[in-house]
Amino acid sequence: MDDLPAERYVSRTPVDYRRFSFTATGVSPRGVPGFGEGIVCVDSDEHDEGGYITEDSNLRARMVDKRLRKAAVVKSDALPPVFTGADGYDTLIVGWGSTYPAIAEAIESIGRSDLAHLHFSWVYPLAPETASYLQKANNIIVVEQHATGQFGQLLTLETGCQIVSILKYNGLPFSVEELVREIQVRCRE
Amino acid sequence: MTENRFDFPHNIDMAWCPGCGNFSIRRSLLAALDDLGVVREKVVLVSGIGQAAKMPQYINTNFFNGLHGRALPAATAVKASNPGLTVIAEGGDGDMYGEGGNHFLHATRRNPDIALFVHNNMVYGLTKGQASPTTRVGMVTPVQAAGVFEKPLNPVSLAVSLDVPFVARASSADWETTKEIMKKAILHRGLALVDIFQPCISFNKLNTYQWFKDNSYYLEDDYDSTNKTTAYAKAQEEFPFPLGVIYSNRERVPFEESLPVYAHDKRPLFERTRVPEKIEQILKSKA
């Protein structure tokens, strides 16, 4: 923690401060009330650069474009998934969130060197390196505590890779034993 | 009229109907803020959704206009993160007592030093005339086609019963007295509710200017607002409804003054930086 610099994101407002000023990245300098000579105006409805409600359709489109530019910055900042295993893997087991320890233990107890583990603690937007991990595998198994396998669908949508799912949605977490069994069934397919 | 520091130097396009009581309430608010001499850059107006909740758009100061019924939690956070700001939460009877009813109840418990101005026109005006929590029994609306049968809320008696430290009722028909009540509310330490009678000339044909005039009166000059028992009795009076400061209590400690984060450091949160050594000390002390 000591090597993390304390970054300051709040800036003193100039007298003509506008909370939603247009910028190249879509990110506007952040002011707070009471810090500087400007005022900070924020609205939940579509607004102009100053925060005032607008029904101008051209301005609306420019504000949507601004937010999409900001989304691209968020994507470039996304945390990459954590890869565990050897290069040249055949089957990639993908998980996210609380399934990490059960999947890790299941892979260890199966003991095959062609199995690798890719874990996401940040699920959207996907980090840019996601596709290359998936494309190296012949077989992608996505483990999810979910009825329809939404994360697997997202991976296919964003990377074009086909996946198979191991889903559990009876209210209980995965056990290591059932993951060993389910992974082995899908590895034989 | 001299220039008001909280008005805009240019014309603004306001969404209210000609003749709406909101114009008068805006006049009171502009004058109250200017009279008090508060620094424009240190005032924050917070609102939810509705015609009344558009007020911050039309006052030249900081604002946060968020979600329907959610003015009070955002306003509480603004005050808690920088107690040096003058914070006003504003909206209508539907927004504050309907969608925001739960937040209103809990704001009375927390008691942040916020002035709460509620435009009470007894109808949902923005959405064209559905019954609100203060709509009178019997009023026919496009939705309540057989007439309203639920008992209307009396926000003033509710607030007194919950010991809100400043409770008043005002009328948009009298902008000058409303201005004076707003000033007292802003200066009062703790949550200060001003329920403001206001006609909706487009969607409430029952509670008109004349109706409010016929059914309200100002409290006598010698009325004692500091006695909770008599204040509660006064707050429950209806037909006619008393106007003025109905209850005031100077004893309750505001929310932000009880927060440990200010016990040894009065600086607002945005002025502070992360101190890793302190975090490590805390972690070690819990180990």
pLDDT for the residue A80: 96
Q: How far is CA A66 from the centre of its chain?
A: 20
User: Average pLDDT in the B171-199 region?
Assistant: 98
Sign of CA dihedral B174, B176, B177, B178: positive
From the CA of B80, how many Å to the nearest CA of chain A?
13
pLDDT tens column, B160-173: 999 999 999 999 99
List Cβ neighbours of B264 (8 Å cut-off, separation of 6 or more).
Answer: none
pLDDT tens column, B35-91: 999 999 999 999 999 999 999 999 999 999 999 999 999 999 999 999 999 999 999
Residues of chain A positioned with their CB less than 8 A from the CB of B273: 6, 8
Give domain status of residue B10, yes or no.
no
Sign of CA dihedral A30, A33, A36, A37: positive
Query: Closest partner residue to A42 among B43, B63, B85, by Cβ?
Result: B63
CA distance linking residue A174 with residue A144, whole number of Å:
9
Tell me: pLDDT of B249 over 60: yes
By C-alpha distance, the chain B residue nearest A31 is B270
CA distance linking residue B136 with residue B123, whole number of Å:
9
pLDDT for the residue A100: 97
| Probe site for chain A from B10, B13, B114, B270 (most A CB atoms < 10 A) | B270
Contact A1 B84 (CB under 8 A): no
In this prediction, residue B175 has a pLDDT band, given cuts at 50, 70 and 90, of very high
DSSP string, A143-186: EESSSS-HHHHHHHHHH----EEEE--SSSPPPHHHHHHHHHHH
From the CA of B64, how many Å to the nearest CA of chain A?
5
From the CA of B155, how many Å to the nearest CA of chain A?
27
Which domain, by its residues, includes B253?
A: 21-286
In this prediction, residue B20 has a pLDDT band, given cuts at 50, 70 and 90, of very high
Q: 3-state secondary structure string, A80-92?
A: CCEEECCCCCCEE
pLDDT tens column, B90-122: 999 999 999 999 999 999 999 999 999 999 999
Give domain status of residue B79, yes or no.
yes
User: Average pLDDT in the B258-278 region?
Assistant: 91
CA distance linking residue B39 with residue B46, whole number of Å:
17
For chain A, which ranges sit under pLDDT 50?
none
Give domain status of residue B184, yes or no.
yes
Contact A33 B85 (CB under 8 A): yes
CA distance linking residue B109 with residue B203, whole number of Å:
34
Contact A42 B64 (CB under 8 A): yes
From the CA of A10, how many Å to the nearest CA of chain B?
7
Give domain status of residue B2, yes or no.
no
Give domain status of residue B252, yes or no.
yes
Tell me: pLDDT of B276 over 70: yes
Domains delineated in chain A: 1-77 (no CATH), 82-188 (3.40.50.920)
Domain harbouring B211, CATH code: 3.40.50.970
pLDDT for the residue A140: 98
CA distances from B42 to A50, B79, B186, B224 (A): 17, 11, 13, 33
Number of domains, chain B: 1
Give domain status of residue B216, yes or no.
yes
Residues of chain B positioned with their CB less than 8 A from the CB of A42: 63-66
Whether the complex's predicted ipTM surpasses the cut of 0.85:
yes
pLDDT for the residue A8: 84
Structure tokens at B271: 């002025």
User: Average pLDDT in the B190-194 region?
Assistant: 98
Averaged confidence pLDDT in chain B: 96
Q: List the one residue out of B243, B51, B43 whose CA is nearest residue B128.
A: B51
Contact B82 A36 (CB under 8 A): no
pLDDT tens column, B110-153: 999 999 999 999 999 999 999 999 999 999 999 999 999 999 99
> pTM higher than 0.80, yes or no?
yes
